Structure 1
Amino acid sequence: MDLRKLKTLIDLVSESNVSELEITEADGKVRIVKQSATQVVAMPAPVYAAPPAAAAAPAAAAPAAAPAAEAISGQVIKSPMVGTFYRASSPGAKAIADVGTQVKKGQAVCIIEAMKIMNEIESEFDGTVSKVLVENGQAVEYGQPLFIIE
């Protein structure tokens, strides 16, 4: 992305009500976050490979999430914060908790990145992960269900 285009984007964010903007192009990814009314910071966003299923059918992933939310049975681990959900500690690494994984109370099940800080999210229950309700790299909201433990 050229410098003139980046400056234009920063100016647009600073003059609007938008607090955060993320743009992905072939040559990279840029995330612009408005920290206060007068200060705008542009930073390169981390690039993580999408899981093969999400890359093959991104449109199908969103409708599938709605029925899963309706048919929740078991104990639910919810997001304690707003951020980006990651199943593994680094791109390409094995998922911390997958379907069928036995977890104990206090054991890490995923990572949520918030404000460039990686936060390990721990299970609140003992049991087996029966469903993972969020895709790797997806933005999550406070209180959003992440896992179902049975």
Structure 2
Amino acid sequence: MIAFRELQSLVNQMQRSGLSRLEINGADYAIRMSCQPGSPRPAAAPEPEPVAAVEIPPAQVAVTAPMPGRLWLQDPLSGKNVGPVSGPVEAGCLLALVQAGPLCLPVRAPQDGILASIDVTQGQAVEYDQPLMQLDIKEQDHAQHRP
């Protein structure tokens, strides 16, 4: 079978070369085309108007707990924040600590972004892989981070 695009191409070639008739026979089809030599081509569709650039809203990436335990956003002795509470963060930036017994594991930013929200509170018990915070990231950065 011959594709429609191939037929369109054949018609255009016929018009350019001045042919008025073309016949094609295949194993299970036959095509007979006739056109006026030098006949004008159909008018091309008007070009679409340019579309204004659309700003893509940032995607969000969840920062999750590396293990079950107690979450520390602030040092329990000094009261100072372990990490930033808002604003831009870089990949690997320390955001919090999760304590299980005497062991504390860092909670780090998985990539550059803006700390959009903290979904837990100081001293809260958390489970493995529980979302703790949300980072706003650019869409192209998000595509690179997908597993």
TM-score, scaled to structure 2: 0.48
Instruction: Judging by fraction of residues, say which structure has more helix.
Output: 1
TM-score between the two structures when normalised by the length of structure 1? 0.47
Greater gyration radius: 2
